[in-house]
A and B are shown apart, each in its own frame.
Chain A
Amino acid sequence: MTRFLRLTTALAFGALCALPVTAAELKIGLGDDADVLDPAQSRTFVGRIVYTAMCDKLVDVSPDLKIVPQLATDWAWSEEGKVLTMTLRNGVKFHDGTTMDAAAVVATIERNMTLTESRRKSELSSVEKVEATAPLTVKFTLKKPDATLLAQLSDRAGMIVSPKAAKELGANFGSKPVCAGPFKFVERVQQDRIVLEKFQDYWNKDNIFIDKVTYLPIPDTTVRLANLQSGDLDMIERLAPTDVATVKSNPKLTYADVVNIGYMGLYTNIANGPRADNPFGKDKRLRQAFSLAIDRDALNQIVYEGTAVGGNQPFPPNSPWFNKAIPVPARDVEKAKALIKEAGFERVPVEMQIPNNPVAQQMMQVVQSMVAEAGFDVQLKSTEFATLLDEQTRGNYQLSRSDWSGRVDPDGNIHQFITCKGGINDTKYCNPKVDELLNEARATTDQAVRKAKYDAASVILNDDLPIIYLGHQSWIWAMQKNVTGFVASPDGMIRLVGMKKG
């Protein structure tokens, strides 16, 4: 009997000890479902959120948008910005147990540059070749100096994948991704969930306090919040600004926000096909009048409950790249009217293409009534997002509402939209002077020189207005009180390092 008692006590005690101290599981509600989970092929914003937990990058971005070490501990530019040498972290393992070394980095970068399905080619277009010069040293040789490369390597192009897995799965890598991040892939059910669990051999595992993380795509903001309120989720991203008050008044929830690095804009058809042939596309005074007729502060209050900020440049006013010499304009209806008159008009009819989601529609209806006071008769044309992009690319629009989620390097917010041959230049605005400035800004790593170039370009763009910038939204997160350690970052990512639950 005593033996039995002792045994049970021992067993019970053992069981108690064996229980993990905190089997912390984090459930995060995302705004969309991710696409292919292969860093080389993926393109969605939510996909990047998942990678943040699963795939470490050569370098990371700090909340103040500085490039900081991740898999690479150190790097240096040489030969006038044409060679980048990186030293890699020692002892890093992929989820399949293989070692992350220079050879793996070379294999990944080459995969990104050559895989038929790769979406990373243009991001790495400046790379001539990449070599492993030592077991933990990688050398990038560039065709021409490219200041944006480090920022590219801080995103999907710099996520190092296991060469073994990449070779086995090829273009199917997304079915079972193997990276070197803090969490490894467990399962994915499309439109339902993506499950990751803590990787025990992670190089920074001492700072990981979550054991399992599940991402649930819930597109409807109301339902996403409802799940948080009912306790089924621990955290949600992209809370609707109109729900901020609800979250703040709930004692069980906390809230975080930060102005994002992207922008909301109105694209004017300047020279994209025959539909550009109208006064609004031809005469910049009308575009200036349009911009002046918008009360950006009121817009922000009405639609975004004060969580967004007004803007007039591709970078938000709090960005180091913002040109302070051109402040966000206050509304000036009289000046707008004068400009319209100067251009020879009383009233100007404009057709504006907008996506058919309620928030965008609400915002553009406000804009519609604001500019009406200055003399613009805006006709709203709602289109599905898929159609909107198509029409915009083909030039079948006059004015089109389009947003950009933003990139860490300023180049990513401006070059491809504005330069004559830019990949997504849907306005077909083309100004050799601007091209020259933006190309020069790309070619130097000297921040002061770059800033001067962007400032000069923004002066010209603010006058020509091919894109009328409206403002910058905030990333807004809400989470349970017991979720701590989250740091809001302007890139909208959720970094799990240091986060705790309990």
Chain B
Amino acid sequence: MTAIAQTPIVEKAEGSRAWKKLRNSRSALAGMTIILFFTILAMAAPILPIPDPVATSWSAIRKAPSAAHWLGTDDLGRDILSRMIWGARASLMAGVFSVIIAVAIGVPFGILAGYFGGWVDLVISRITEALLAMPFLIMAIALAAFLGPSLSNAMIAIGLSAMPIFVRLTRGQVLSVKTEDYVEGARSVGLGHMDIMLRYILPNVTAPIIVQATLTVATAIIAEASLSFLGLGQQPPAASWGSMLNVAKNFLSQAPWMAMWPGIAIFLVVIGFNLLGDGLRDALDPREH
């Protein structure tokens, strides 16, 4: 970690070295490919030639995969392929937005705690510790129940539950960075706290945060699926992979395909983010050669 804390000028060279390393990592590339595939699919959902994901058809209820419906139909005769693609939007969005929420709240608090120390640190650290002592999913369930069942509320709940990890991570990074010469130098030149935090501290703590964020997207996608599975995530008629699983579990023996596809999709995307996160960690962590 100490090696990350180099002068900002070296940072650029470091970045390109990391990129080269990442490009050479086969598993990271595989991860990126999977993520890109699903992202493109999700973004293209409105223009793809697929049926309306909420159009019901009483004559095609729980039909097995066929030429007309490549992945079969669900309990209301809706095309599963189409729902999978639209569900990808919901699931990916849930993963990414909840992490954005977690980072947007967690990182500033972490920087504040690490940079100022003293009672600011004390208060922030104690609260963070308290939040960390509560199991992640239990907190997400309680928050989701409090906010009411919906996809956006699930994102908020997951984001808030994941937030303390970022506070702690950032704080630790800041602590090791702030004693560096260039920070001391900036301070002696008379730069304000705000300037130092934004220009000297933040850029030097981002690498581990990016790694953590990538891995947390994976956790968040599973968390969204779990909440949807408990009925607290995406609500009908819209689809997310988790909510599709929630419905599918009632038709396991009659229509196993309803449970198979969303499960496989979640698995693939999550492994994609995990692979990418691992690759990033290897690339950004100079200890590994």
Asked if A298 is at the interface (CB within 8 A of a chain B CB), the reply is: yes
Instruction: Report the nearest B residue to A364, measured CB to CB.
Output: B236
Given contacts A366-B76, A383-B148, whether A357 and B253 have CB atoms under 8 Å apart is no
Chain B residues positioned under 8 Å from A381 (CB to CB): 235
Contact across chains for A361 and B58 when beta carbons are under 8 A apart: no
Chain B residues positioned under 8 Å from A338 (CB to CB): none
Asked if A332 is at the interface (CB within 8 A of a chain B CB), the reply is: no
Interface SS of chain A: helix, strand, loop or mixed?
helix
Output the least CB separation between B62 and chain A (Å). Answer: 9
Q: CB within 8 A of B236: which of A222, A245, A365? A: A365
Give per-residue flags for B149-183: 1 if the beta carbon is below 8 A from chain A beta carbons, else 0. 11000000000000000000000000000000000
Asked if B61 is at the interface (CB within 8 A of a chain A CB), the reply is: yes
Output the least CB separation between A364 and chain B (Å). Answer: 8
Give per-residue flags for A336-365: 1 if the beta carbon is below 8 A from chain B beta carbons, else 0. 000000000000000000001111011001
Given contacts A362-B75, A362-B76, whether A356 and B58 have CB atoms under 8 Å apart is no
Asked if A369 is at the interface (CB within 8 A of a chain B CB), the reply is: yes
Contact across chains for B253 and A356 when beta carbons are under 8 A apart: no
Asked if B26 is at the interface (CB within 8 A of a chain A CB), the reply is: no
Given contacts A356-B149, A366-B76, whether A382 and B231 have CB atoms under 8 Å apart is yes
Instruction: Report the nearest A residue to B237, measured CB to CB.
Output: A365
Chain A residues positioned under 8 Å from B232 (CB to CB): 356, 384
Once bound together, how far apart are the Cα atoms of A242 and B252, in whole Å?
10
Contact across chains for A246 and B253 when beta carbons are under 8 A apart: yes
Once bound together, how far apart are the Cα atoms of A176 and B251, in whole Å?
39
Given contacts A302-B61, A369-B56, A380-B237, whether A358 and B148 have CB atoms under 8 Å apart is no
Given contacts A222-B249, A222-B250, A365-B56, whether A384 and B231 have CB atoms under 8 Å apart is yes
Chain B residues positioned under 8 Å from A356 (CB to CB): 149, 231-232, 235
Q: CB within 8 A of A302: which of B58, B246, B247, B254? A: B58
Asked if A470 is at the interface (CB within 8 A of a chain B CB), the reply is: no
Instruction: Report the nearest A residue to B255, measured CB to CB.
Output: A242
Asked if A116 is at the interface (CB within 8 A of a chain B CB), the reply is: no
Asked if A221 is at the interface (CB within 8 A of a chain B CB), the reply is: yes
Task: Count residues of chain A with CB under 8 A from any CB of chain B.
Answer: 26
Output the least CB separation between A10 and chain B (Å). Answer: 53
Asked if B196 is at the interface (CB within 8 A of a chain A CB), the reply is: no
Interface residues on B, range: 20 to 34
Q: CB within 8 A of B58: which of A240, A242, A298? A: A298
Instruction: Report the nearest B residue to A223, measured CB to CB.
Output: B249
Asked if B139 is at the interface (CB within 8 A of a chain A CB), the reply is: no
Asked if B145 is at the interface (CB within 8 A of a chain A CB), the reply is: yes
Asked if A400 is at the interface (CB within 8 A of a chain B CB), the reply is: no
Chain B residues positioned under 8 Å from A245 (CB to CB): 254
Once bound together, how far apart are the Cα atoms of A243 and B249, in whole Å?
12
Instruction: Report the nearest B residue to A357, measured CB to CB.
Output: B231
Contact across chains for A246 and B254 when beta carbons are under 8 A apart: yes
Instruction: Report the nearest B residue to A356, measured CB to CB.
Output: B231
Contact across chains for A382 and B61 when beta carbons are under 8 A apart: no
Once bound together, how far apart are the Cα atoms of A382 and B235, in whole Å?
7
Output the least CB separation between A6 and chain B (Å). Answer: 57
Chain A residues positioned under 8 Å from B145 (CB to CB): 384
Chain A residues positioned under 8 Å from B148 (CB to CB): 383-384, 387
Contact across chains for B149 and A302 when beta carbons are under 8 A apart: no
Output the least CB separation between B180 and chain A (Å). Answer: 50
Given contacts A356-B149, A366-B76, A384-B149, whether A221 and B250 have CB atoms under 8 Å apart is yes
Once bound together, how far apart are the Cα atoms of A298 and B246, in whole Å?
23
Chain A residues positioned under 8 Å from B149 (CB to CB): 356, 382-384
Once bound together, how far apart are the Cα atoms of A382 and B144, in whole Å?
13
Once bound together, how far apart are the Cα atoms of A459 and B172, in whole Å?
73
Asked if A368 is at the interface (CB within 8 A of a chain B CB), the reply is: yes
Contact across chains for A242 and B56 when beta carbons are under 8 A apart: no
Asked if A283 is at the interface (CB within 8 A of a chain B CB), the reply is: no
Chain B residues positioned under 8 Å from A361 (CB to CB): 235-236, 247
Output the least CB separation between A247 and chain B (Å). Answer: 10
Once bound together, how far apart are the Cα atoms of A362 and B149, in whole Å?
16
Output the least CB separation between A414 and chain B (Å). Answer: 31
Given contacts A302-B58, A383-B148, whether A358 and B247 have CB atoms under 8 Å apart is yes
Contact across chains for A240 and B250 when beta carbons are under 8 A apart: yes
Give per-residue flags for B231-251: 1 if the beta carbon is below 8 A from chain A beta carbons, else 0. 110011100000000110111
Asked if A463 is at the interface (CB within 8 A of a chain B CB), the reply is: no
3 interchain residue pairs of minimum CB distance: A356-B231, A382-B235, A361-B236
